[in-house]
Amino acid sequence: MARPKEFDPHAALKVAMETFRRRGYEGTSVQDLVDALGINRSSMYAAFGSKHDLYLKALERYSADEKAKAEHDLAGDGPALPALRAFLLSYVDAALTDPERNGCLVTHGVLERVPCDPEATTRLRAALRGMEDAYAALLLRARTNGELAPGTDVKSAARFLVTFTQGLRVMEKAADREYLIEAVDQALSVFRARAAAADPAGDEATPDERAAG
C-alpha cells in the first residue's frame, strides 16, 4: 500500500499565498483553498486556522520574502542608482513573464483590506515599512557615494519610492514594457536631477549613463 504523502505546511502556505495573490482575499473561498492545498477543510483548519488566519500567515510569508529580495538586490558597495533601476525593472520583468499578471499580494491587500481589516492593515503597513527601510539604506549609500545631493532627505525619498513602487505594481497589470520602463526612468530622473543640481559643473551624463542611472 502506498504511503500517504506527508503534508508540508511550508509548501502549503506558499500555495495559499499564490492563491490569494491570484484571486484576492474576497475572491478566494475556503473551497478554493482546500482545492489548491489538496487537503480537506478540517486539515486546513487544524494547520492554519480560519481563512482569515491563513491569509494573515500568507501576508507575513510574502512580506518576508519581498523584504529579503529587496535587501539582497539593493545591498552592496557599488553604485546605488543603477542597482535601484535594476531592482525596479525586476518587478517589470516578473510581471510581464506572468501570463496572468497576478501582481503583488501587498498591493492587492492595501487596496482590498485597508482599513477594514485591522490585523491585515498592521501587517501590510509593516511590509511597506520594510520596503521603506531597504530603500532608505540604498539611498543613504547613494548619498554617501555622491550620487545624490548631500542634503537629500533619505527618509522622504524612500517613501517616494515606496509610493512609486506600489503604483508600478498596479500598472503592471495593464501597461506594456515600454510604458513601465519609461515610468521607472522618469521616477529615477528625480534623483538624477538632484545630483546634477548638487554638481552643476559636472559633465553631462551620456545616454548609457542615463539608462544605467
Q: Is the pLDDT of residue 206 over 50?
A: no
Q: For residue 28, what is the DSSP state?
A: -
Question: Cβ(91)–Cβ(169) under 8 Å?
Answer: yes
Entry pTM: 0.87
Helix count (H) and strand count (E) of the chain? Answer: 10, 0
Render pLDDT for 163-178 as a digit per residue (tens, 0 to 9). 999 999 999 999 999 9
Helix (H, G, I), strand (E, B) or coil at 42: helix
